[in-house]
A and B are shown apart, each in its own frame.
Chain A
Amino acid sequence: MPLVNRQKNLLKKAEHFVKDYNFKQEVLLALQFCLLAILSAATRTLTNTPYQLIMLSQGLVLTLGSMSTFKRFSVYLNRILVILLVVDLVTMYVILIFNLPEDGRKVKDYAFEVFGFIQNPTSYTIFGLKILLFALECQRMSFAAPMADLKFKACLQEQVN
């Protein structure tokens, strides 16, 4: 009798953990969507194009495919976004510390056009948004695996069945 109770408790706990995992996964995904939307709408520079493309592809998959396909797809996008953000943030920081956009302005024609097109000089807000997105993406990595991909302990599965 106590063994049955213990098994019931274990199952309840397992159910709770799975729900918690799913909830966190979905909240982080929704937050990522919001931040990507803000980031995509905030500037029209060339460096923001990848984020707009990622946003667009996520929207397409969500519209055309199922939720599980979307979750699986967002795992790959998550890794791409993390790499993209690391490169982008370091480049942005270097541009900010060396004041490259201002230098580009001083030199006429080419430099101004290049720096103006690639990076908006007064983009501290974008910088902050990208830092937030990077932290969020890293947090998402620990909850990225879709439920179907997780391999639960055999004994637990037997109990569930």
Chain B
Amino acid sequence: MWSAFNKYVYSLVLLFMATAHFNLLGLFYFLLFIFHTFAYYAFRTTDFPIDYLLDSRRRLNINIRTLFAYLYILVSTLAFVGIITLKIMLYLSGQDSNPLDNRTDTDNEETTWLNFFALMIPDFDSIFTLLTAFVSFFMAVVLLQTLKKENQEAVQMQFTAA
């Protein structure tokens, strides 16, 4: 059941992450969305019925999906850790609010490094961003576990067939 719907779920999650954050972090998620669509929609990994009738099965080598899973976990981990680090940096800098927030005049020389990193995720201060980053990280871990399980099952099936 899960394997039938998981590509649609991940499409929605990645698209949501890309459009909920219209910034450089969102761009990374958008690139992941394009990669995911290509890996999961353009190729099939499960045996499609017609493949049994063909000389050479039009199946995708599994590597492209594994590559996607590792890229996804890399981006989501960096985003999650980055947001937490930025929050800690904000706390340590003694500022009350996000330096990129135009409503407050908090731009001073001491916090230029914070401004530089915050350019990546301008809305890092909000709970919503932290929550979405956590959800994305969780989904990436689930995807990697699912992929590992599928690979193990495939190996077991090959072993049984042999």
Residues on A lying within 8 angstroms of B by beta carbon are: 13-14, 17-18, 20-21, 82, 86, 89-90, 93-94, 96-97, 131, 134-135, 138-139, 141-142, 145, 150-154, 156
B134 on the A face (CB < 8 A): no
Beta-carbon contacts under 8 Å, B1-57 to A: 11, 15, 18, 22-24, 26-27, 30-31, 34, 37-38, 41-44, 48-50, 52-56
B148 on the A face (CB < 8 A): no
Cα(A154)–Cα(B26), bound, Å = 50
B149 on the A face (CB < 8 A): no
- From B22, B34, B53, B55, contact of A89 by CB (8 A): B34
- A-B contacts, 6 of them at CB < 8 A, read A17-B52, A93-B30, A139-B41, A142-B43, A142-B58, A152-B53
Cα(A18)–Cα(B51), bound, Å = 10
A150 contacts across to B, CB distance below 8 A: 50, 54
User: With A97-B23, A138-B42, A145-B58 known to touch, is A156 a contact of B53 (CB < 8 Å)?
Assistant: yes
Pairwise interchain contact B41-A138, C-beta atoms closer than 8 A: yes
Determine the main DSSP class of B at the interface with A: helix
Pairwise interchain contact A135-B11, C-beta atoms closer than 8 A: yes
Which residue of the partner chain B has the closest CB to A136? B41
Pairwise interchain contact A90-B53, C-beta atoms closer than 8 A: no
Residues on B lying within 8 angstroms of A by beta carbon are: 11, 15, 18, 22-24, 26-27, 30-31, 34, 37-38, 41-44, 48-50, 52-56, 58
Pairwise interchain contact B41-A142, C-beta atoms closer than 8 A: yes
- From A21, A96, A131, A151, contact of B15 by CB (8 A): A131
Cα(A21)–Cα(B24), bound, Å = 40
B43 contacts across to A, CB distance below 8 A: 141-142
Which residue of the partner chain B has the closest CB to A131? B15
Cα(A139)–Cα(B37), bound, Å = 9
Pairwise interchain contact A153-B49, C-beta atoms closer than 8 A: no
Pairwise interchain contact B41-A153, C-beta atoms closer than 8 A: no
- From A17, A89, A139, A151, contact of B42 by CB (8 A): A139
B30 contacts across to A, CB distance below 8 A: 89-90, 93
Best-buried of A14, A18, A93, A153 by chain B (most CB within 10 Å):
A93
B81 to chain A, nearest CB (A): 22
Cα(A77)–Cα(B49), bound, Å = 26
Pairwise interchain contact A21-B50, C-beta atoms closer than 8 A: yes
B50 contacts across to A, CB distance below 8 A: 17-18, 20-21, 150
- From A17, A96, A138, A141, contact of B53 by CB (8 A): A17
B56 to chain A, nearest CB (A): 7
Cα(A153)–Cα(B53), bound, Å = 6
Cα(A145)–Cα(B42), bound, Å = 12
Pairwise interchain contact B26-A97, C-beta atoms closer than 8 A: yes
Pairwise interchain contact A142-B44, C-beta atoms closer than 8 A: yes
- From A90, A96, A145, contact of B34 by CB (8 A): A90
Pairwise interchain contact A138-B54, C-beta atoms closer than 8 A: no
Pairwise interchain contact B24-A97, C-beta atoms closer than 8 A: yes
Cα(A152)–Cα(B49), bound, Å = 13
